[in-house]
Amino acid sequence: MGDLLSRRAINRATLDRQLLLRRSQLSISEVLERVVGMQAQAPNPPYYGLWTRLEDFTTDQLAALVNSREVVRIALMRSTIHLVTAGDCLMLRPLMQPVHERGLQTGYGKAIADIDPASLVVAGRELVEKQPMTFATLGAELAARWPGRDRHALAMAVRTWAPLVGVPPRGLWGSSGQAAHTTAESWLGRPLRTDATLDEMFIRYLAGFGPASVKDVQVWSGLTRLKEIADRLRPSLKVFSDENGVELFDLPTSPRPAPEVVAPVRFMAEFENMLLSYADRGRIISEEHRKRIFTPNGLIPGTFLVDGFVAGTWKRAAATLTIAPFAKLSKKDTAALQAEGGRLLDFAAAGAAHEIVFLEP
């Protein structure tokens, strides 16, 4: 077992990897690759996620990359929608195929049991490559060829067996409505990578989320049986243990700041990947507070960090920011949140009269 890392030391290392100790001057694509994408089933959260990590970020900058096809929205880790660079889309999607297939069998296995996958994929690809389609439209078109079948199950089967990306305007700041999809190969003009490896994925995860355990990588990805990957990479990795004796892996050259490094207040987006990518979330949120964030409806609210840990939730409605702390805040932390909240409203509601409301804990 390696050197001991305290909870606070792990927290500071995580914040550093996630660009939350100081705003970065990296490009948007570099940030997305650093954090291995951002969860993006709703259009706006990635914009907040980039704003809180980047200097001088504007919504138009990301919108330009979406429209130019340099970044895409596609189901990847945990079979959830992520915003990633085109290169990461082509690298990660083949590796996540087992996650997609497991989800399909769990949700729709009986509905598609005797359908030939190859025939369905050919038909689905033909449809969405001719014209991007919503899943509802795709399901209806497929049901004309497979009458009596569950339309949604047919669409989800194509989503599983073909790499479908969402196309604009879905994914642009403030957009709404159902997403239309086409294949990644058609949209990007390049094939999926056939040489991508789980070793590469494991290393990328550690670069953005480490130090971390094998179970952490499995929770983040949705994949299983990754211990053999860790064992194969072990000679090239740094090994630690946490306060519970769990073995943690990290890249030797990755930063691990001192535990006493100051962590500024930060507003985290809804569905923040950092909250969803560890088996042990204690590095970023207490168990008591975790129960208030992770509810049965599966919706993860926007949260804010004080001293590096989740200390409450936030919500924006037009030009009003409502901050709901879990406990009484100090005057210093209140002032810091007020200032950072003002910057958030300058970003998200420029030109309007701003209001920041603090709720009682």
Give per-residue pLDDT as tens, 146-156: 999 999 999 99
What does pTM read for this prediction?
Answer: 0.96
Q: Is residue 256 part of a domain?
A: no
Q: State the Cα–Cα distance between residues 43 and 105, nearest whole angstrom.
A: 28
Q: Is residue 269 part of a domain?
A: no
Q: What pLDDT score was predicted for residue 309?
A: 98
Q: What pLDDT score was predicted for residue 296?
A: 76
What domain range is 202 assigned to? 3-9+197-250
Contact 34, 5 (CB under 8 A): no
Give yes or no: residues 54 and 162 share one domain. Answer: yes
Q: What pLDDT score was predicted for residue 174?
A: 87
Q: Is residue 203 part of a domain?
A: yes
Give yes or no: residues 184 and 203 share one domain. Answer: no
Q: Is residue 14 part of a domain?
A: no
**pLDDT at residue 184 is higher than 80:** yes
Number of domains into which the chain is organized: 3
Ranges of H-type helices in 146-264? 151-161, 184-188, 198-209, 214-221, 227-233
Q: What value does the mean pLDDT take over residues 6-20?
A: 98
Q: Is residue 81 part of a domain?
A: yes
Give per-residue pLDDT as tens, 56-84: 999 999 999 999 999 999 999 999 999 99
Q: Is residue 118 part of a domain?
A: yes
Give per-residue pLDDT as tens, 268-282: 999 999 999 999 999
Give yes or no: residues 177 and 28 share one domain. Answer: yes
Give yes or no: residues 181 and 215 share one domain. Answer: no
Give yes or no: residues 41 and 167 share one domain. Answer: yes
Give yes or no: residues 36 and 116 share one domain. Answer: yes
> φ, ψ for residue 113 (rounded to 5)?
-55, -40
Q: Is residue 273 part of a domain?
A: no
Give yes or no: residues 139 and 246 share one domain. Answer: no
Give yes or no: residues 294 and 164 share one domain. Answer: no
Give yes or no: residues 240 and 333 share one domain. Answer: no
SS3 of 113, please? coil
Q: How does residue 266 score in pLDDT terms, banded at 50, 70 and 90?
A: very high
The percent of residues above 70 in pLDDT, for the chain, comes to: 100
Give yes or no: residues 57 and 156 share one domain. Answer: yes
Q: How does residue 299 score in pLDDT terms, banded at 50, 70 and 90?
A: confident
Give yes or no: residues 154 and 226 share one domain. Answer: no
Q: State the Cα–Cα distance between residues 212 and 231, nearest whole angstrom.
A: 14
Give yes or no: residues 38 and 184 share one domain. Answer: yes
Q: What pLDDT score was predicted for residue 1?
A: 66
**pLDDT at residue 2 is higher than 80:** no
